[in-house]
Amino acid sequence: MQAVKPDTDYRIEQFTIFNDRETDFYLHRTEKAVFQAVQRLNGKGTGRLLDVGCGLGMQAARLALRGWEAYGIDASDQMLKLGQFRFPAVHKRVRLARSIAEALPFRGGYFDVVMCQGAMDHFADRGRFVAEVERVLKPGGHFVVALANYESLSCRIGKALDDLSRLLGVDTPRRYQFWRIPADHTFIGSYKLLKGLDNGTMRIARIHGASMFLFLPPWRELLEALPFELAAATFRVVDRVAYRFPSAADVVIAALRKEDLSDLLQLRLEARGNGKKRSSAVPSYLLRG
């Protein structure tokens, strides 16, 4: 398999900007969902936080305003400089550094929270990144990650409609093939993939979805046709369903906790002592030998 070269030279001009309600609702909801996922871990925001693939640094700045000691890294020097230039809060409150995700420039056990919003599926080596996250997290710290779900209900419907069009001999316009993985993605993000990050020492604490039906033409047209307040209310109703059923949602947000191995070893001793039944919270490899 050919190695993937990290894209470290991307610029803001490369991002497609959609000027429609559906995309605005979707982007704002994703930002809010990740923000809330972090705040839920520690409402007072007294910990040390790292945003990997931070882009302009806006999300890290929002969390810094809530009390977090915020750091951000990104591979693009242009994005980091633009964020500091355009947004004073980023310049004043977030400590930024240029780095790739697979080699985080921090000592082990430094952060209470590492977050990554919509960036992991652009990284060259997902496994190395997750190992780096585990390294820089404190025991008991959390990894909050959000990914576009290319196995969402919307993508499944879009793919089925495309297959039907092919059977009928009709070509689907490229703009409606939103279920195809973009060229700058290194793997297909999905609910199943995020669930698979649970490896025994990194355990899923919470996982939920955000938004539904993204890019489906009838949904987009409905949101554009309704009065703004009614469109927003309709989006919120569907979003509540997405929250409860993340495998169908457009975005999946997971919070994983780094287990404290000293606590797990204590559980091992307790499980072995007195002939008690093993605790399901203890990974099997800690119970060997």
How is residue 148 annotated by DSSP? E
Q: What is the mean pLDDT of the chain?
A: 84
> Residue 265: its pLDDT value, please?
53
Mean pLDDT of 11-22: 61
Lowest mean pLDDT among 5-9, 11-15, 193-197: 11-15
Q: Are 122 and 116 contacting, i.e. CB atoms less than 8 angstroms apart?
A: no
- pLDDT range class, residue 176, cuts 50, 70, 90: low
More confident site: 109 or 166: 109
Mean pLDDT of 121-146: 95
> Residue 273: its pLDDT value, please?
58
- pLDDT range class, residue 8, cuts 50, 70, 90: low
> Residue 180: its pLDDT value, please?
85
Greatest mean pLDDT among 97-111, 158-172, 254-268 lies in 97-111
User: Is the Cα torsion angle 278, 280, 284, 287 positive or negative in sign?
Assistant: negative
Which amino acid would we find at residue 43? G
Neighbours of 260 (CB within 10 A): 14
> Residue 71: its pLDDT value, please?
95
Greatest mean pLDDT among 68-72, 92-96, 269-273 lies in 68-72
Percent of the chain with pLDDT over 70: 81
Neighbours of 206 (CB within 10 A): 14
6: Cβ contacts below 8 Å, ≥ 6 apart? 75, 100, 102, 123, 124
Percent of the chain with pLDDT over 90: 58
Task: State both tokens at 163.
Answer: 């297959």
Q: Are 243 and 161 contacting, i.e. CB atoms less than 8 angstroms apart?
A: no
Mean pLDDT of 42-57: 87
**For the chain, which domains are there?**
12-152+182-258 (3.40.50.150), 264-289 (no CATH)
C-alpha 234/C-alpha 131 separation (Å) is 40
Radius of gyration of the chain (CA): 21
Mean pLDDT of 182-207: 92
Q: What is the pLDDT of residues 263-286, one digit of tens each?
A: 555 545 555 655 544 444 444 433
Whether residue 190 is predicted with pLDDT greater than 60 in this model: the reply is: yes
C-alpha 31/C-alpha 36 separation (Å) is 9
